[in-house]
Structure 1
Amino acid sequence: MVKYFLGQSVLRSSWDQVFAAFWQQYPNPCGKHILTEDIVHREVTPDQKLLSRPTGCPAGPSDCFLPMLLTRCTYILEDSIVDPQNQTMTIFTWNINYARPMVVEERCVDCVNSDNSGWTEIRREAWVSSSLRGVSRAVREFGLAQFKCNVTKTLKGFEYILAKLQGEAASKTLVKTAREAKEKAKETALAAKAKDLASKAATKKQQR
């Protein structure tokens, strides 16, 4: 038997912003156990889709139903498929060791929200299974409950990164606008000065 989870949520950010944030989501306050990700494989398919696989990410103490000492040795594999033409990003994740106690397979699809093109819709599915005899049902139940908790943490962490990137973008825009305004003012002042000098020169010429 397998426990199945389906969840949908909406981020009030455009798909382009979510796509950019995906590659910069670590570190964040809700995922402190991951500092960074290194890409070990990346390719562009003939149909112009981007396939990526980072290094195996270490699971945090709350990421799976395992003894505390084993969680530091548990690794999560992640594959992503980005389709820029249709504006979709599909992420597959699963644990690659300690699969007998529990396996959690997840598929997450990010796409443009049908009601608001400036928002991004997230459809998340998960399958939780266990091979432990006698307690597999309890393990699946616990694993599913823990997965739901982690989904909430993941969304909060992602929203933090989005807000941070949007804040940085707004700050850069303000700095750029201020710089452009200063340059414009300087150009206007120089033009006014040149016009004044030309007017004075013309007046002197007429007086002669």
Structure 2
Amino acid sequence: MKFFENSTVFNYSWEQVAQGFWRRYPNPHSKHVLSEDTISREVKSGKLITKRILSKTNNIPKWAKKFINTTYVYIIEESIVDPKNKSLVTYTRNLGFTKVMSVTEKVVYKQSEENPSKTVVSRYAWIDSQVKGFSRAICAFGYERFKKNANVMIGGFNYVLQNMYPHQNVIHSVTSTTANKIKDAAKNASELAKSKAAPIYASLHPNQS
């Protein structure tokens, strides 16, 4: 198993980053993200809890085609928004080919303690493989691919925030240490859950009706 960790500081308030989180896609840096569908959304103890499925694609090396016969994969994303404590935590994992390589990610978006006008984003990932004889090489490949994609995600998020807040300077720093699509019925159900979550959801989407 390989472990990845990095921390990014965005020159945007937590409220701005929390709003931008829901508008991350599409953006020019994340063309590998093909779709995103909401499964459920509800409020528990003042926290907005959302579950979504995203479909993504990535080029794979020739050796990987021995184990994987498609470049498409579905990702489940669970998020918890806590406006009172200004915290947004997400958990994601791949749904397909988990024996070949499983990637579990946790991302924490918190208001900076040193500067409340900035947001600290801490990203953690665990990459594992159960392929005998190849697990070490697959984990090493997965680690390098994830590290590269993490930088792409930062660039994409910056692009979104810049467009949402064009008059604000963009400064960020990074430090590192070593399935089918959701059916229309599910979308309708998520919209119903969204309406029940109006008090919190509306605060994070002030420009949406």
Per the normalisation by structure 2, the TM-score is 0.74
Alignment map for 1:32-111 (pairs within 5 Å): 32-34=31-33, 36-45=35-44, 47-54=45-52, 56-62=53-59, 66-67=64-65, 69-72=69-72, 74-111=73-110
Pair member with larger Rg? 1
Cα RMSD of the aligned pairs, angstroms, is: 2.1
Aligned with 2:85: secondary structure? coil
- How many pairs were matched up? 165
Work out whether 1:9 is the aligned partner of 2:8: yes
Contact 1:76 1:96 in 2 (8 A): yes
The list of structure 1 runs, each at least 4 consecutive aligned residues, that deviate by more than 3 angstroms after superposition, is: 62-69
Cα deviation, residue 35, structure 1: 5.1
Single out whichever of 106-115 and 28-37 deviates more from structure 2: 28-37
Distance in 2 between residues matched to 1:93 and 1:159, nearest whole Å: 20
In 2, Cα distance between equivalents of 1:25 and 1:164 = 11
Aligned equivalents of 1:79 and 1:70: distance in 2? 25
Larger helix proportion, structure 1 or 2? 1
| Higher strand proportion | 2
Residue 128, structure 1, aligned to residue 127, structure 2: yes
1:94-150, Cα deviation, whole Å (9 max, x unpaired): 001111110000000000011110000011110000000101001001101110000
Q: 1:36 Cα deviation (Å)?
A: 4.8
Tell me what 1:187 maps to: none
Where structure 1 has 5 or more consecutive residues not aligned to the other structure, the ranges are: 170-208
Provide the identity percentage: 35
Q: State TM-score, norm by structure 1.
A: 0.74
Contact 1:21 1:158 in 2 (8 A): yes
Partners in 2 of 1:66 and 1:20 — Cα distance?
Answer: 37
